[in-house]
Amino acid sequence: MPQLDTSTWFITIISMIITLFIMFQLKISKHYYYYNPEPLMTKSQKHSTPWETKWTKIYLPLSLPLR
């Protein structure tokens, strides 16, 4: 049974790792990142609803007094 020649494995694996590293560096370098994001000032609109002017309370069935 012939033996497997592993003499070229080292250079193959090293070149593959270097190639992958270079490809990922090129892929990442194409992204544009914002350096200083500024918050946008948005105007909040006032909605008039009938329950804003009066006091309301939600009664749960468990909070009602016992009879």
Task: Write out pLDDT tens, residues 8-53.
Answer: 999 999 999 999 999 999 998 888 877 777 777 777 666 666 655 5
Single-letter amino acid, residue 39: P
Domain that holds residue 27: 6-59
pLDDT for 27: 93
Q: Which residue has the higher pLDDT, 63 or 16?
A: 16
Cα angle for residues 23, 25, 30 (degrees, 5° grid): 100
**Residue at 35 is within a domain:** yes
Is residue 50 included in any domain, yes or no? Answer: yes
pLDDT band at 65 (very low <50, low <70, confident <90, very high): low
- Tell me whether residue 1 is in a domain: no
User: Quick one: CA dihedral 19, 20, 21, 26, positive or negative?
Assistant: positive
Is 67 part of any domain? no
3-state secondary structure of 52: helix
Q: What is the pLDDT of residue 30?
A: 87
- Binned at pLDDT 50, 70 and 90, residue 56 comes out as low
Torsion on CA atoms 26, 31, 36, 42, rounded to nearest 10: -170
Question: Any idea how long the chain is?
Answer: 67
Report the number of distinct structural domains present in the chain. 1
Residue 64 covered by a domain: no
